[in-house]
Every structure is written in structure tokens, then in C-alpha cells.
Copies of this chain bind each other. A is one copy, B any other.
Amino acid sequence: MKIAVLPGDGIGTEIVAEAIRVLDALDLSFEMETALVGGAAYEAHGHPLPEATLKLAKEADAVLFGAVGDWKYDKLDRPLRPEQAILGLRKNLGLFANFRPAICYEQLVGASSLKPELIAGLDILIIRELTGDIYFGQPRGRRTAVDGHFPGADEAFDTMRYSRPEVERIARVAFEAARKRSKRVTSVDKANVLETFQFWKDIVTEVHKDYPDIELDHMYVDNAAMQLVKAPKKFDVIVTGNMFGDILSDEAAMLTGSIGMLPSASLNSSNQGLYEPSHGSAPDIAGKGVANPLATILSAAMMLRFSLNQAEAADRIESAVKHVLASGLRTGDIWSEGTKRVGTREMGDAVVAAI
């Protein structure tokens, strides 16, 4: 089993280092190989996703990814910016199924913006399609408008699109996932306005016929953004497209108040996957040793479960994290009165000790 380790930028190196220590503590045997990605790769090789990094990722069974990005790259041409690395990995590895759990840990209820009774016990799984939609649709670019409100003016455009097999496979992923949970799926669309999402809705409804044990409902994206605020616990599995999933998964993550705890997995059809925390590279606290490594550590657990067939080891990590939380250790992002504030390294130490 081979893991490609791509720490990236900002706090990426610090948090990935702790996840690796946790993996090491499990005494399993994997090969791990590290490579540069994002701004770090751009600095060294002039490209955020160098050939060698992509090759390593493709050949590995799983990619453990930190985070990429920094304000200082904002002025670069788009193809050279750090976040292109993540888009390039998704596309080249065919990572179409993004799992983004939004879980509110019992001890961290107070960190949420929401009233405790609305958020305590939250456990949603957002399944976001990750290689289609307006993220990758062609054509896109700039041109002279030929119709619309201002024919003759300069305009920019992008293409939203989904093909039948793309929707079918992500719908199946969602129904299968729901089978292992509370058997409810909410498909989020904008079928009242968009052809793409009327098509999406029709296909999800068709695929649902193969899953009579699962309850399916459909919700417009604007309503979903509202219902997540109003009563997040009414959701179980949410499945949606790439663009809507980007927005809703971040909204749901922030509702928990502890985005520093939330892992993610992006899988292709052979269960090869990329695993990364749901938060970003946080350049403001990079190098200070204060970042929360738990989302990355929990991403490593997802990696063991989904790509490396080591469910038991995954359970061990997850139990260790719960144990550490229960013992009262907190990094700054989740700290509250009466708990003990620790740094990145100490948090990693504690998880290793609990394993």
C-alpha cells in the first residue's frame, strides 16, 4: 500500500506531520512518499502541480493532502495558483465522489454559532460531485456578446453541465452511503431554473428505483441553504453537484463551529482517494504550531477505511480522537473556558498516546 503525502502550504506541513505520526503509531506497513504541491511546488518548480507530484499521486493508493494557498499567490495567472493543484488532482485522478461529513462533537457544541439544542448531535454527510458541473465544463472564456442585454459588449462565460452517467454514479454513491446510515437522502438541485439540475433531479429519481429501502427527497439549493440554518439535524445524507456542494458543505461545516475537526474524502471508481481536512491553509497562523491537526488526523482515518481497507485501524484513530477531546485538550480554534489549550504537536502527541 502506498500513500502519497502532499502537505502543501500554510499550516499544511504542520498538520500533516501529526497525521503521519498517528499513522506510524498504528504499526501497519505502508510506503509513504512526500511531494510538493500548491504554492510550495510553484516556488520550487514553477507549477502548483508538477508532473512528478501528479505521477506520485496517480500511482499511490491514497493521497494524504494538507492544504494549499496563500494571499501572496493571488496575483498569479489562474493556471499557476495553488488551488489549481487540487482541481488538477481531482480531474486527473477522476475523484468524482467527495464525502464531507458535518459532525458536531458533543464536547464542542459550544463552539457553534447555533443554539446548542439545534446543533448537538449533528451528523450530516454531504456527498458532493467533484469532477463535473461548471467547474470543468467547456466552453468557457471571454468573448463578445451576441445576444443578451448588451449585444456587442465584452462578456465572460462558463458552461454548467452534467451527463447521465455522471449523475447516475454519484446518486448510487449517495444511496449506498445512506444504506449504512439512516436511509434518507436529500438531493439538492435548482430544477426550477436550470436545465442541468432538472436533468439531475430526473436521473436521481430514476436511480432511486433501485433503492426502494431509501427515502429520497428533493430540495432547491436556496431552500437547502435555509434549512441547514433552521434545522440542520433534519438532514442525513445530502447529495448535490460540484458548485452547490462547494457552498453547502462549507456552510454545514461552519454550522458545527469546529471546522478544525472535519475531514473529507474524495474517491474515484476504484476507491483510490484523496483525503484532506475541510479547512484551508490558514496562512495567518502557519508555522506557529497552533493549528488543529485533528481534521487531518481524521482524514487519515477515512483514508484507512475507504482506500486502504483498514477499517479497524480507522476506528482506533477515531476513538483516540474522542478520547483526547474527552480528556479536555483543545487547540485554540476549539478552546473554551475550563479546557486545556494545547498546540499542534501536543495534540498529535495526545492522539498518539491514546492509540
Contacts and interface: CB of A to CB of B under 8 A. Distances in A.
Contacts of A244: 247
A251 interface: yes
A230 interface: yes
A79 to B, nearest CB: 12
Interface string A163-194: 11110000000000000000000000010111
A159 B157 contact: yes
A113 B113 CA distance: 8
A229 B255 contact: yes
Kindly report how many copies of this chain are found in the complex they form together.
Answer: 2
Interface in A51-84: 78, 81, 83
Given A113-B115, A115-B114, A156-B162, A199 B142 contact: yes
A250 interface: yes
Interface residues of A, number: 69
Contacts of A225: 225, 247-248, 250-251, 254
A150 B165 contact: yes
A118 interface: yes
A222 interface: yes
A113 B154 contact: no
Given A94-B149, A229-B251, 7 more contacts: A140-B194, A148-B163, A150-B164, A153-B163, A153-B165, A159-B160, A229-B255
- A-B CB proximity, top 4 nearest: A156-B199, A157-B161, A155-B163, A226-B254
